[in-house]
Each structure stands twice: as C-alpha cells, then as structure tokens.
C-alpha cells in the first residue's frame, strides 16, 4: 500500500490503523501522511486475560467505525481504501455504507477459514459481513488468480488481479551484466520467517550445514538471510553455521543491493497442511523484488501453491514442487551447472516484472479506477 500511494499528496490522505500496526510498519517506512492510531490490547499468556483482551479489542472496533465515519464526513472523503485483513476493514465497510462513500477493497491474504468451528458465531458473522462488504465495494483487487476465484465464489463479484509490485531499478541490465562469480553460489532468502516458509528454509539450511549439495556437484554454497533473526533463534533453529549468514531486516534500497549480489533467489511456500489455505490463494510480496533484481529464482513449494503455478506458467524460475532434500538439491544444481540457463531465467524475470509487477503501471491503473469510481458515485 505504501508503494501504491507514495505519490499521493500527504494532505489528501489519512490512515486509520492500530498502534500495533504503526509499530509493525516502522521498518518498512510509513506513508508520509496523517496516521490515526487506535490503541489495542496486547496478547497475554493467561487464557482468561487473553479472552478478556480479545473481547476488548472487538469492542474497540465500534470506536474505529465511529472515527472512520467522522473522518470521512469531516474531510469530505472521495474514496476509502481498505485491506481485507484483521477486523478494521469491517469499520471501513460500515463507514462507507453510512456515508455513501465508494469503497476500494484489496484482498491479499485468505479471508475465509475452513477451520472455523461450526459453533463459532463471531467467525460466521464476520464471514457474512465480509461478503456484504465485498458485494458493495466499488472496486476489488485480488493478489492472485486463485484469490480472484475465491472472491468470486464468496460474493459473486469479479475482482481485478493486482500482483505485488515494486519500483523498476535503474539500469538493471547493465548492473547485472558482466558479473564475475567467485566461490560457490550465494542463495538468498528475504522476508518474514513464519509458518508459510519455515519448513522450506529448514530443508535448505540442512543442505547447507550438512554439505549434502557437494554430492550434486555444488561446492561452497552459502545461505544468506535478510530477515529479522536473533542469535538465540538462529541457534534454536540449528542454523548456526559458517555458511549461513544473517543480514537482518534491511531497507528497500539495501534489499535491492543484497538481491543483486546473490546468485540464486530462494522463493519458498510451505508444504505444511497448516499453511495450505494461505499458499493456495495468497502471493508472496517479495516476488516483485526478486523479479526486479533480474537474478535466477528458485521457487520451492507444493503444486497447488500460487507461486508454483505462477512460476510454471511464466517461466521465470527453476520450480521444485517435491518436498525432499534430493529434489531441492537437484533444483540448485540445475541453476548452478548452466550459465545459459541462469541468463535465461534472469532475462525472463525482468520480462515478467515489466508485464505484471511494475508499480508505475499499477499506480496509473489504480488512479484511473479511483477516478471512475468517484465519478460514478456523484
């Protein structure tokens, strides 16, 4: 959202979020506009207190809704943009209904859970309200074709696909041309360490720490992590090794430099059943940054994941869809053993970026949609 709105006049933009949301966004830079942060209760290790705080946060939703209505009327807002995640989008939907303001809904993460208990009234109510909000929205964006189909199945509305995007690097082709490699390949992962990637990273780290890649003709491979990872967490995961390097969380500019210095960009999606709903519909945001770097990409995930389907269709990556050390090692070997193949993957990555992930193109289309929606509402 920051990339999509970073050229919008600051005095014509306001963000309503939680204090936790503001805190979480600091590392990724906030939009340069007014932020209205609503306090939330933090988690607790005591079950009874956790339930009490959760109930308090639900009650706070009424405060968020009231604030959204007041801000919309006071500022004479032309359109409201909301991301269907958490609960604040419910406030946005109600505020737009009360004030007759056009709503633009963006669906990045799975908003439908098949794990909700049949007796969970609040979960069923939220799902029903979400359907109503999407049906009333002036425009819906979905992060993948799979998410687009999910939106249609839930509310019979056609969403427009809006892949994760990034800014086109300057003189990318010249910067990558003529790079001389020394030693083994540097395999880089950038992003958040969570349930959608942990099993894949554990398998890759195991290949590095055990030296198993040497059996496939790949010597001196190193794993570089651009992720928030403490020394204690590194030790706990069993990743404490000379060939595993942690760079920590890096800025957008630093990230691009790190990606360009790597030899293989690792793009995983979990094989775990617990992550199935996410990997089947969501789409990793770092994909755009990977493609913009113009480097060989290795996609590692199940056949039913959005990343594997997309990479297979677009041809910008070596795709490994079997969860095994041998399959992953062969994928790395395929990239490492052929300079021609590496060049072809890098060139195709830049082509796919230009076609589907260039933020300049998305911004232009986005503002055309806003203009159309606002004009239709007047």
CA nearest to 107, candidates 153, 72, 167: 153
Are residues 225 and 327 both part of a single domain? yes
What integer pLDDT is reported at residue 172 of this predicted model? 52
pTM: 0.87
What integer pLDDT is reported at residue 177 of this predicted model? 38
Residue for token pair 């806003």 = 370
The CATH number linked to 156 is 3.40.50.2000
3-state secondary structure 231-282: HHHHHHHCCCCCCEEECCCCCHHHHHHHHHHCCEEEEECCCCHHHHHHHHHC
Q: How many CA atoms lie within 13 A of 184 on its CB side?
A: 19
What integer pLDDT is reported at residue 152 of this predicted model? 96
Are residues 247 and 262 both part of a single domain? yes
Structural domain tally of the chain?
2
Q: Is-contact 295 287, C-beta < 8 A?
A: no
Q: Cβ atoms within 10 A of the Cβ of 243, count?
A: 18
Are residues 209 and 347 both part of a single domain? yes
Mean pLDDT by 10 residues, the chain (378 residues): 90 90 71 87 76 78 92 94 92 95 93 62 85 95 95 95 88 44 85 93 95 92 92 90 91 88 96 92 94 96 96 97 97 96 96 96 95 90
The DSSP annotation for 56-80 comes to HHHHHHHHHHHHHHHHHHHTT-S-E
Report d(CA 42, CA 39) in Å as an integer. 9
Are residues 79 and 153 both part of a single domain? yes
Are residues 158 and 240 both part of a single domain? no
What is the token pair recorded at 191? 């992003």
- Structural domain boundaries, residue 32: 2-165+358-377
Which bin fits 106, alpha (ψ -120 to 50), beta or left (φ > 0)? beta
Are residues 76 and 193 both part of a single domain? no
**Helix %, strand %, coil % of the chain (to 5):** 55, 15, 35
List beta partners, residue 142: 107, 161
- Collect all residues with Cβ–Cβ distance below 8 Å to 342 and sequence separation of at least 6: 296, 335
Are residues 29 and 98 both part of a single domain? yes
Are residues 178 and 220 both part of a single domain? yes
What is the token pair recorded at 29? 């830079």
What integer pLDDT is reported at residue 354 of this predicted model? 95
């Amino acid at each position: 959202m920051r990339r999509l709105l970073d050229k919008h006049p600051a005095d014509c933009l306001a963000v309503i979020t939680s204090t936790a949301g503001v805190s979480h966004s600091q590392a990724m830079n906030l939009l340069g506009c007014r932020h209205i942060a609503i306090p939330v209760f933090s988690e607790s290790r005591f079950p009874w207190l956790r339930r009490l705080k959760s109930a308090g946060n639900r009650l706070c939703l009424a405060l968020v809704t009231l604030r959204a209505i007041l801000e919309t009327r006071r500022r004479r807002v032309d359109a409201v943009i909301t991301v269907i995640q958490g609960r604040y989008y419910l406030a946005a939907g109600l505020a737009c209904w009360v004030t007759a303001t056009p709503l633009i809904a963006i669906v990045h993460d799975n908003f439908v859970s098949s794990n909700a208990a049949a007796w969970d009234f609040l979960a069923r109510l939220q799902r029903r309200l979400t359907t109503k909000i999407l049906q009333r929205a002036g425009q819906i964006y979905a992060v993948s074709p799979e998410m687009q189909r999910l939106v249609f199945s839930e509310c019979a509305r056609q969403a427009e696909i809006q892949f994760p995007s990034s800014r086109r690097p300057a003189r990318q082709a010249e910067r990558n041309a003529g790079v001389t490699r020394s030693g083994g390949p540097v395999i880089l992962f950038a992003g958040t360490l969570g349930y959608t990637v942990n099993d894949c990273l554990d398998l890759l780290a195991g290949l590095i720490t055990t030296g198993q890649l040497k059996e496939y003709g790949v010597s001196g491979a190193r794993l570089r992590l651009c992720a928030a990872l403490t020394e204690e967490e590194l030790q706990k995961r069993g990743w404490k090794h000379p060939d595993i390097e942690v760079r920590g969380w890096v800025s957008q500019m630093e990230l691009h430099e790190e990606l360009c210095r790597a030899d293989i960009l690792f793009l995983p999606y979990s094989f775990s059943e617990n992550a199935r709903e996410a990997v089947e519909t969501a789409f990793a945001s770092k994909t755009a940054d990977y493609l913009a770097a113009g480097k060989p990409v290795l996609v590692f995930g199940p056949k039913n994941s959005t990343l594997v389907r997309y990479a297979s269709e677009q041809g910008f990556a070596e795709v490994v869809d079997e969860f095994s050390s041998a399959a992953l090692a062969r994928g790395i070997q395929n990239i490492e053993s052929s300079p021609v193949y590496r060049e072809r993957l890098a060139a195709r990555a830049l082509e796919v970026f230009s076609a589907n992930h260039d933020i300049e193109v998305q911004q232009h289309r986005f503002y055309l949609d806003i203009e159309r929606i606002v004009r239709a509402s007047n």
